[in-house]
Structures are given as structure tokens and as C-alpha cells.
Amino acid sequence: MKKRPYRIHHKQPPQKTRDFESIEETLMKLQKPGPKGSDYRERSLKIHGLLCAKCGREFDEKTRHLLTVHHKDGNHLNNPPDGSNWENLCVYCHDDEHSRELLGNYLRDQKE
Ligand SMILES: [Zn+2]
Ligand SMILES: [Zn+2]
């Protein structure tokens, strides 16, 4: 009786069919400490919620990247832990807010 050589069959791990990140991976990335001071965004989103302060649009975990933190006094170094200098604005409103500021300053400068 012939003995078959014993072979170890390496079972391939099941292929991942999803090409998007798992929630765990996304969370890990979000929790990674960024450059100094950049964590205020997460804090602001936590304090004020996933909501644009201007247009009232609501965001969820999938669209939260469209929410940005606006500094009410324009000073990015002023980050009080109670969030009083932060405003959550969607990218569109944030853009609008700043172009208006620039325009406002421009018009004011023209007058003076
Ligand atoms: Zn908005
Ligand atoms: Zn801003």
C-alpha cells in the first residue's frame, strides 16, 4: 500500500470582498493623535454635535469629514476646552463664512 506524502494544505484566508475600511480601522485612524492642537476638531464635534451651526445640515459618521471647525475669533490657537470659540460648519458654510469676512474687511478698509 502506497503511502501518500503528507501535505499541509495552507488554507487561504477568506478574501475580503469589501474594499472599504472597517469601522475599527476608521476609528483607529481618527484616534491617532494628529499634529499638536489638531484634536480640537474632534472635541468640537463632540461638544457641538455633527451639525452645521449655520445651515443646520446634519452629518453622520460617513459624512463627518464635511464638517469643519470654525474659530469664532479667527484665532486658531485659541482653543478653550469648553468649545466656546468653536463653531461646527460644513465646508460650504465655512467657505462662505471666510469669504464674507474677507469681503467685509475689504469693504471696511475701503471706507476708512
Ligand atoms: Zn452648513
Ligand atoms: Zn473658519
In the reported structure, the alpha carbon of residue 71 is separated from the centroid of ligand 2 by a whole-number distance in angstroms of: 5
The burial of 4, by beta-carbon neighbours within 10 Å (0-12 exposed, 13-18 middle, 19 or more buried), is given as: exposed
Q: How far apart are CA 46 and CA 81, in angstroms?
A: 11
In the reported structure, the alpha carbon of residue 53 is separated from the centroid of ligand 1 by a whole-number distance in angstroms of: 7
Is 0.85 surpassed by the pTM of this model?
no
In the reported structure, the alpha carbon of residue 74 is separated from the centroid of ligand 2 by a whole-number distance in angstroms of: 6
pLDDT confidence of 35, banded at 50, 70, 90?
A: low
pLDDT confidence of 2, banded at 50, 70, 90?
A: low
In sequence order, the 6+-apart residues with CB closer than 8 A to the CB of 75 are: 85
In the reported structure, the alpha carbon of residue 40 is separated from the centroid of ligand 2 by a whole-number distance in angstroms of: 13
Per-residue pLDDT, averaged over 31-57, amounts to 84
Supply the mean pLDDT for the chain: 82
8 A C-beta contact, residue 86 and residue 70? yes
Q: What torsion, rounded to 10 degrees, do the Cα atoms 36, 30, 46, 87 define?
A: 60
Judged by its nearest atom, the ligand closest to the C-alpha of residue 97 is 2
Judged by its nearest atom, the ligand closest to the C-alpha of residue 70 is 2
* pLDDT value, residue 107: 76
